């Protein structure tokens, strides 16, 4: 219908209305109101109405709930909001205890979505409560835990691994199986592995009251780093002896020894290869990323899937698969201490498998998610009484982590992992490393970077894998693994950056300078799910969430918590869901 026809029709209607009396106009208004505001969705069969509502995003579903009681019931359907949670990347299982709602309620998933939005808004506004836990008698070296729950594991120079319930602020259990300090932890669905300065790795069975499954020996010096494949079949360990070992978790056998670094292997990370991130890929191929005291990062090409575990029979087996160095990243001027993977691209592909027609989700719907809201206060220091169950007499009653009343014995220091004197001398090293692999065209070193750049979807985002690295040189660097390009370098800390972690929207880091910093990776535009942002902007500003006198050595970031360990044995738990 042309614009002229529409205008002509409106002119005729206006002419007719002008000729009506006041009473006739009132009758016409009532008639139009009854017919133009008819609730068509309420008249439809419930399955058809629910199907139509699936095409709406969370914001419009919230608006529909305000129209009428019938529409409120239809737009609060559990199936609709379960789908919204999945589309937004919110967990629907293994929920934190802070969400205490009847899971049989008709609006359970609506309330769950609202809970996740409140937590996300608190992260953006830096609204949190701070809890202090006197966790260990010596420095905390590592923290492990799931991304969604309240249970975490901590390792310390006091030779113990402790299991904590963050919600109840209590220690569930203490594992005392190492003879020297515990330096690293890795957690799977049913397996926990700990690496120690006693040169051993202990594999625990979580499903059997943390009983010891294997004790792995073979490294010639302390174990500094661990990582594990998602199937819990293969374990990777890095040591002060400069080697990486690959272990069969089921049998406890050492499958491979990898040489390539000239210093302590201080950090390990396993990520899927870009070529395997396809919807129809039957088995994933992996890259092993290693960082060392030799200031370099190596990318190893391997595949630790179940189908190939049988091929890793022994280092001398003709059929064994020898991982190859795919790329060497150089640029840090001191030891590489930690690595983090930006998982955005993988989340997108996983959600594409579940949803054929993704659409935008506007997270800024707090106004429509009525009733409970987050606290307007920022950086709340919450007074708590926290007890270490192994030492019932030790209590902290403080609102300041710098309290002089906290006294600890620091027999060991986190800086030991940077001390090359710990490396065994040649006579005691029974394994002679092969010469360094030759440089070739597949091994790139990129030292150029931009201080302000934009990565567009079409140019780089959908075919790249991004990682972050941190170092004793106080810098955090962002790399594109597919090209080896250094994309960005920032120096927000003034001392060694010991740990960092990132998810799809944020990055956190801790340092010997006592700072806990937070970086918002995504911009303020509406969140798009699956996440297909038109650009990824860097640099990203840093926010200091806390600053203490003691060095902060490790962290674990979950949906609702940011937990950090210090050289004094204190856990600093920042909770981003403000309890009533």
Q: How far is CA 367 from CA 5, 87, 118, in A?
A: 41, 20, 11
> What value does the mean pLDDT take over residues 99-104?
88
Q: Is the pLDDT score of 148 beyond 90?
A: no
Residue of 106 and 67 predicted with greater confidence: 106
Q: Is 436 domain-assigned?
A: no
230 and 148 within one domain = yes
Cα gap 486→484, rounded to integer Å: 7
Residue of 31 and 409 predicted with greater confidence: 31
147 and 20 within one domain = no
292 and 269 within one domain = yes
Residue of 252 and 393 predicted with greater confidence: 252
Q: Could you tell me which of 461, 456, 470, 466 has the C-alpha nearest to residue 542?
A: 470
Look at residue 10 in the predicted model and tell me its pLDDT: 76
509 and 564 within one domain = yes
Q: Is 264 domain-assigned?
A: yes
Look at residue 389 in the predicted model and tell me its pLDDT: 32
Q: Which of the listed residues 98, 118, 138 is the one where a domain comes to its end?
A: 118
Cα gap 296→335, rounded to integer Å: 8
Coil, strand, or helix at residue 499?
strand
pLDDT band at 36; cut points 50, 70, 90: low
| Least confident stretch, 9-18, 198-207, 302-311, 351-360 | 351-360
Coil, strand, or helix at residue 453?
strand
Residue of 455 and 135 predicted with greater confidence: 135
Q: Is the pLDDT score of 96 beyond 70?
A: yes
User: Which positions ≥6 away from 157 have C-beta within 8 Å?
Assistant: 136, 138, 139, 141, 181, 182, 411, 412
Q: Is the pLDDT score of 572 beyond 90?
A: yes
| Least confident stretch, 103-107, 146-150, 214-218, 558-562 | 146-150
Task: Check: CB of residue 487 under 8 Å from CB of residue 480.
Answer: yes
Coil, strand, or helix at residue 283?
coil
Q: How far is CA 226 from CA 182, 207, 223, 451, 571, in A?
A: 12, 20, 8, 32, 21
Please report, rounded to a whole number, the percentage of residues in the chain having pLDDT higher than 70.
Answer: 69
For the chain, what is the mean pLDDT? 76
Best-predicted range by mean pLDDT (48-57, 76-85, 388-397): 76-85
Cα gap 51→69, rounded to integer Å: 19
Look at residue 16 in the predicted model and tell me its pLDDT: 85
216 and 139 within one domain = yes
| Least confident stretch, 79-83, 92-96, 305-309, 428-432 | 428-432
Look at residue 419 in the predicted model and tell me its pLDDT: 67
Side-chain-side CA neighbours of 511 within 13 Å: the count stands at 25
Q: Is 569 domain-assigned?
A: yes
Q: Is the pLDDT score of 17 beyond 80?
A: yes
> What value does the mean pLDDT take over residues 123-128?
90
Look at residue 386 in the predicted model and tell me its pLDDT: 36
Q: Is the pLDDT score of 531 beyond 50?
A: no
Q: Is 580 domain-assigned?
A: no
> What value does the mean pLDDT take over residues 356-370?
36
Task: Check: CB of residue 401 under 8 Å from CB of residue 565.
Answer: no
List 477's β-bridge partners, or say none.
469, 489
Task: Check: CB of residue 183 under 8 Å from CB of residue 202.
Answer: no
Task: Check: CB of residue 349 under 8 Å from CB of residue 281.
Answer: no
Look at residue 274 in the predicted model and tell me its pLDDT: 67
Look at residue 132 in the predicted model and tell me its pLDDT: 93
> What value does the mean pLDDT take over residues 313-342?
77
Cα gap 422→399, rounded to integer Å: 39
User: Which positions ≥6 away from 193 have C-beta within 8 Å?
Assistant: 185, 186, 201, 202, 203, 204, 226, 228, 235, 249
Cα gap 146→397, rounded to integer Å: 28
Q: Note the helical H segments in 37-134.
A: 40-43, 46-53, 58-65, 69-74, 78-87, 108-125
263 and 163 within one domain = yes
Q: What is the CATH number of the domain that holds 485?
A: 2.130.10.10
pLDDT tens per residue, range 66-76: 888 888 888 89
Look at residue 348 in the predicted model and tell me its pLDDT: 45
> What value does the mean pLDDT take over residues 284-313?
74
Look at residue 534 in the predicted model and tell me its pLDDT: 34
Number of domains forming the structure of the chain:
2
Q: Is the pLDDT score of 284 beyond 80?
A: no
> What value does the mean pLDDT take over residues 340-364?
47
Cα gap 214→211, rounded to integer Å: 9
pLDDT tens per residue, range 375-397: 333 343 333 333 333 333 333 33
213 and 347 within one domain = yes
Q: Is 75 domain-assigned?
A: yes
**Tokens of residue 554, six digits:** 């490790």
pLDDT tens per residue, range 466-505: 899 999 999 999 998 888 889 889 999 999 999 999 887 8
167 and 79 within one domain = no
Parent domain of 51:
8-90+109-118
Q: Is 103 domain-assigned?
A: no
135 and 22 within one domain = no
Q: Is the pLDDT score of 11 beyond 90?
A: no
**Tokens of residue 502, six digits:** 């990132």
293 and 146 within one domain = yes
Q: Is 514 domain-assigned?
A: yes
Look at residue 55 in the predicted model and tell me its pLDDT: 85
Count of residues making up the chain = 580
Q: Is 26 domain-assigned?
A: yes
Best-predicted range by mean pLDDT (28-42, 156-170, 267-281): 156-170
156 and 114 within one domain = no
**Tokens of residue 232, six digits:** 């819990």
Cα gap 327→329, rounded to integer Å: 7
Please report, rounded to a whole number, the percentage of residues in the chain having pLDDT higher than 90.
Answer: 43
pLDDT tens per residue, range 208-249: 999 999 999 999 999 999 999 988 999 999 999 999 999 999
Cα gap 189→51, rounded to integer Å: 35
| Least confident stretch, 84-98, 376-390, 548-562 | 376-390
Q: Is the pLDDT score of 400 beyond 70?
A: no
Residue of 425 and 151 predicted with greater confidence: 151
Look at residue 156 in the predicted model and tell me its pLDDT: 96
209 and 150 within one domain = yes
Q: What is the CATH number of the domain that holds 79?
A: 1.20.1280.50
Look at residue 452 in the predicted model and tell me its pLDDT: 39
């Amino acid at each position: 219908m042309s614009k002229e026809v529409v205008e002509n029709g409106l002119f005729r209607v206006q002419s007719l209305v002008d000729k009506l009396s006041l009473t006739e106009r009132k009758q016409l208004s009532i008639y139009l109101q009854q017919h133009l505001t008819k609730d068509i969705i309420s008249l439809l069969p419930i399955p058809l109405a629910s199907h139509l509502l699936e095409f709406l995003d969370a914001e419009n579903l919230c608006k529909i709930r305000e129209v009428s009681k019938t529409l409120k019931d239809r737009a609060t359907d559990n199936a609709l909001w379960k789908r919204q949670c999945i589309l937004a990347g919110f967990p629907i299982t293994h929920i934190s205890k802070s969400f205490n709602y009847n899971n049989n309620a008709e609006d359970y998933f609506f309330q769950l979505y609202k809970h996740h939005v409140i937590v996300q808004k608190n992260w953006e506004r830096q609204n949190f409560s701070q809890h202090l836990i006197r966790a260990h008698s010596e420095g905390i070296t590592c923290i492990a835990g799931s991304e969604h729950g309240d249970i975490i594991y901590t390792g310390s120079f006091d030779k113990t691994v402790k299991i904590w319930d963050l919600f109840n602020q209590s220690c569930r259990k203490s594992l005392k199986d190492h003879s020297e300090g515990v330096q690293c932890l890795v957690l799977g669905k049913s397996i926990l592995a700990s690496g120690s300065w006693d040169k051993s790795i202990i594999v625990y069975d979580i499903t059997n009251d943390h009983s010891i499954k294997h004790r792995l020996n073979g490294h010639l010096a302390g174990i500094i780093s661990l990582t594990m494949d998602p199937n819990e079949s293969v374990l990777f360990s890095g040591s002060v002896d400069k080697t990486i070992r690959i272990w069969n978790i089921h049998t406890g056998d050492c499958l491979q020894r990898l040489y390539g670094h000239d210093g302590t292997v201080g950090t390990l990370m396993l990520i899927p290869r870009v070529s395997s991130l396809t919807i129809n890929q039957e088995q994933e191929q992996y890259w092993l990323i290693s960082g060392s005291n030799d200031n370099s990062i190596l990318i190893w090409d391997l595949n630790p899937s179940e189908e190939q575990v049988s091929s890793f029979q022994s280092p001398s087996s003709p059929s064994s698969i020898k991982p190859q160095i795919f790329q060497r990243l150089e640029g840090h001027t001191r030891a590489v201490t930690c690595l983090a993977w930006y998982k955005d691209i993988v989340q997108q592909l996983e959600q594409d498998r579940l949803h054929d027609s993704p659409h935008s989700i506007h997270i800024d719907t707090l106004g429509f998610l009525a009733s409970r809201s987050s606290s307007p206060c920022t950086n709340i220091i919450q007074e708590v009484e926290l007890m270490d169950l192994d030492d019932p007499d030790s209590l902290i009653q403080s609102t300041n982590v710098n309290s002089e009343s906290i006294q600890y014995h620091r027999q060991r220091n986190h800086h030991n992992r940077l001390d090359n004197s710990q490396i065994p001398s040649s006579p005691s090293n029974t394994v002679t490393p092969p010469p360094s692999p030759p440089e070739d065209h597949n091994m790139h070193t990129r030292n150029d970077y931009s201080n302000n750049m934009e990565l567009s979807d079409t140019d780089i985002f959908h075919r790249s894998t991004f990682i972050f690295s941190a170092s004793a040189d106080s810098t955090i660097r962002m790399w594109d693994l597919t090209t080896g390009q250094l994309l960005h370098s920032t120096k927000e800390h003034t001392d060694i950056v010991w740990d960092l972690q990132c998810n799809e929207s944020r990055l956190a880091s801790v340092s010997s300078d006592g700072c806990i910093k937070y970086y918002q990776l995504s911009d303020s535009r509406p969140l798009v799910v699956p996440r297909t942002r038109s650009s990824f902007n860097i640099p990203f500003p840093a926010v200091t969430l806390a600053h203490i006198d003691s060095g902060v050595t490790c962290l674990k970031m979950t949906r609702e918590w940011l937990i950090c360990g210090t050289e004094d044995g204190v856990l600093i738990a920042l909770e981003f869901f403000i309890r009533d």
